[in-house]
């Protein structure tokens, strides 16, 4: 870590992390406020190392009170804050922190950063994550351009911006962001063969005892990962749901084999429940199976490969699958005539139930 290099004396630049990742919002003003509050809290979190390294820090006692107290006590007719007093009545005043984020507070944070990290001698490192949650890339570009000056060019800060589906590259390519963001680094997905090793490492890191008694072992997770079509986020979500649904005593007393069997049975039951709750025409069921066969994604132009004579007939079936949450479709923002269709996590579970014959066709509602 960069902070460790500073402590060892191998670097003169002190870099310290913000406590939590920041998630981009379509409301740029709201996001800017969250960044400034995150930086202010970082001064509290890293007060000791900043002081020990001879850096200037704000009055952290007042800062802590201002950020966290529901009310502020006033002295001499004014409210005390870490960056000066505000006029008000004597006694106790509500902490109206949000009212000062537009001017005084932001100016104070900028001054603190200049004082603590003069001449580029380090700074706070913040993570701006999940850029893809702003579905339309043009909106993401707008938000990033709006936060360029108030956030991305703040002194004493460095920002790491993450986003899936290539959205980070499209944001960095706009003229206003030229020279502000470095060229994006493409990070490939974790190879499927490495998933068990990844989960084993995760268990070792977070375990407080014997990792073999974890709710979901690496082997169990591998099965969940396969059923969810190698979607890491969905697999982690299913693992969490399974862990919360079972009695804690089962994990404490059960063997790893018992837990693996239970995880497989739980996922199979969930898959069957989804299938039992859905009533589709045979042609719609066939479309789900065909979609799974080609990887779970297509466009209306693939209608012939999926056995349809025209796009309209295929579209009618897709609409019904969307209604049951088995697929999702979206338009290309650059060309509204283009549409992509993808199976959802629920769709993959239903396909798993059907492909494994988990429901006995002669006894509807009962599992084999």
Q: Residue 286: inside a domain, yes or no?
A: yes
Residue 32 and residue 138 share a domain: yes
| pLDDT, position 70 | 46
The CA distances from residue 327 to 292, 351, 365, in Å, are: 11, 12, 23
Domain check: are 247 and 321 in the same one? Answer: no
Q: Is residue 361 situated within a structural domain?
A: no
Note whether residue 185 is domain-resident.
no
- Are 271 and 240 within one domain? yes
Q: Mind spelling out the 3-state secondary structure of the chain?
A: CHHHHHHHCCCCCEEEECCCCEECCCCHHHHHHHHHHHHHHHHHHCHHHHHHCCCCCCCHHHHHHHHHCCEEEEECCEECCCCCCEECCCEEEECCHHHHCCCHHHHHHHHHHHHHCHHHCEEEEEEEECHHHCCCHHHHHHHHHHCHHHHHCCCCEEEEECCCCCHHHHHHCCHHHCCCCCCCCCCCCCCHHHHHHHHHHHHHHHCCCCHHHCCCCHHHHHHHHHHCCCCHHHHHHHHHHHHHHCCHHHHHHCCHHHHHHHHHHHHHHHHHHHHHCCCCCHHHHHHHHHHHHCCCEECHHHCCCCCCCCHHHHHHHHHHHHHCCCEEEEEECCEEEEEEEEECHHHHHHHHHHHCCCECCCCCCCEC
For residue 323, the model assigns a pLDDT of 92
Parallel/antiparallel/unpaired status of strands 14-17 and 122-129:
parallel
Write the pLDDT tens digit of every residue in 248-266.
888 888 888 888 999 999 9
**Structural Rg of the chain based on CA atoms:** 27
What are 162-212's pLDDT values in tens digits? Answer: 887 667 777 777 888 888 888 888 877 788 888 888 888 888 888 776 655
Residue 335, pLDDT score? 45
Residue 137 covered by a domain: yes
The answer to whether residues 15 and 129 belong to one domain is: yes
Q: How far is CA 224 from CA 5, 210, 239, in A?
A: 40, 22, 8
The pLDDT value given to residue 175: 83
Cα–Cα distance measured from residue 348 to residue 228, given in angstroms and rounded to the nearest whole number: 6
Q: Does residue 269 lie in a domain region?
A: yes
Q: How far apart are CA 145 and CA 300, in angstroms?
A: 34
* Residues contacting residue 103 through CB under 8 Å, at least 6 positions apart: none
Residues 345 and 204 in one domain: no
User: Do 255 and 317 belong together in one domain?
Assistant: no
Distance CA 10, CA 4 (A): 9
Give yes or no for residue 278 having a pLDDT over 60: yes
Average pLDDT on 278-289 reads 92
The CATH number given to whatever domain includes residue 337 is 1.10.10.10
Report d(CA 289, CA 341) in Å as an integer: 14
pLDDT value at residue 331: 63
More confident residue, 53 or 330: 53
**Residue 136: its pLDDT value, please?**
66
pLDDT in tens, 18-76: 999 998 888 888 899 899 999 999 999 999 999 988 898 888 777 777 676 544 444 44
Q: Are residues 286 and 265 in the same domain?
A: no
Q: Which of 114, 148, 177 is the last residue of a domain?
A: 177
Please report the pLDDT score of residue 91 as a whole number.
44
> Using one digit for the tens of pLDDT, what is the confidence trace for 88-119?
443 444 445 454 546 678 888 999 999 999 98
φ and ψ of 215, to 5 deg: -55, -40
**Domain membership flag for residue 326:** yes
What the block records as the tokens of 123 is: 């700074």
28 and 108 fall within a common domain: yes
Last residue of a domain, one of 122, 148, 177: 177
pLDDT at residue 337 greater than cutoff 70? no
159 and 210 within one domain: no
- Let me know if residue 19 belongs to a domain: yes
- Do 173 and 210 belong to one domain? no
Spatial separation of the C-alpha atoms in residues 173 and 276, rounded to whole Å: 48
pLDDT tens digit sequence for 212-232:
567 888 888 999 999 999 988
Cα(155)–Cα(109) distance, rounded to whole angstroms?
Answer: 10
Could you tell me the residue range of the domain that residue 266 belongs to?
192-275
Of the residues 148, 177, 206, the one at which a domain ends: 177
**pLDDT at position 330:** 74
pLDDT tens by residue, 120-136: 889 999 999 888 777 66
- Average the pLDDT over 317-330 and give the result: 90
Q: In this structure, are 242 and 288 located in the same domain?
A: no
Do 344 and 212 fall into the same domain? no
In angstroms, the CA 310 to CA 300 distance is 9
Tally of domains within the chain? 3
Q: Is residue 320 part of a domain?
A: yes
């Amino acid at each position: 870590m960069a902070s460790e290099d500073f402590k060892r004396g191998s670097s003169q630049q002190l870099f310290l992390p913000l406590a939590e990742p920041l998630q981009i919002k379509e409301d740029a003003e709201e996001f800017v406020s969250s960044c400034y509050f995150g930086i202010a809290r970082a001064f509290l979190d890293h007060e000791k190392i900043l002081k020990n390294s001879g850096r200037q820090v704000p009055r952290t006692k007042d800062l802590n009170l201002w950020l966290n107290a529901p009310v502020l006590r006033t002295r001499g007719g004014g409210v005390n804050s870490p960056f000066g007093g505000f006029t008000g009545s004597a006694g106790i005043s509500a902490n109206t922190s949000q009212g000062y984020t537009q001017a005084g507070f932001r100016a104070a944070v900028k001054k603190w950063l200049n004082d603590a990290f003069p001449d580029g001698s380090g700074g706070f490192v913040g993570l701006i994550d999940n850029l893809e949650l702003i579905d339309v890339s043009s909106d993401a570009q707008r938000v990033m351009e709006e936060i360029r000056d108030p956030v991305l060019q703040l002194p004493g800060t460095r920002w790491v911006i993450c986003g899936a589906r290539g959205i980070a590259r499209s944001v960095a390519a706009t003229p206003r962001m030229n020279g502000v963001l470095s060229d994006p680094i493409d990070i490939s997905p974790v190879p499927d063969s490495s998933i068990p090793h990844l989960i084993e490492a995760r268990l070792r890191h977070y375990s407080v005892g014997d990792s073999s008694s974890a709710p979901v072992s690496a082997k169990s997770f591998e099965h969940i990962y396969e059923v969810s079509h190698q979607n890491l986020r969905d697999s982690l979500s299913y693992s969490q749901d399974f862990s919360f649904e079972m009695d804690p005593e089962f994990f404490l007393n059960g063997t790893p084999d018992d837990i693996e069997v239970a995880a497989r049975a739980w996922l199979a039951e969930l898959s069957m429940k989804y299938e039992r709750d859905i009533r589709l025409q045979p042609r719609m069921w066939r479309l789900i199976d065909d979609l799974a066969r080609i990887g779970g994604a297509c466009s209306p132009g693939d209608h012939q490969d999926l056995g349809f004579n025209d796009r309209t007939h295929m579209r009618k079936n897709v609409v019904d699958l969307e209604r049951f949450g088995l697929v999702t479709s979206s338009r290309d923002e650059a060309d509204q005539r283009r549409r992509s269709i993808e199976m959802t996590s629920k769709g993959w579970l239903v396909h798993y139930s059907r492909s494994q014959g988990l429901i006995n066709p002669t006894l509807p509602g009962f599992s084999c």
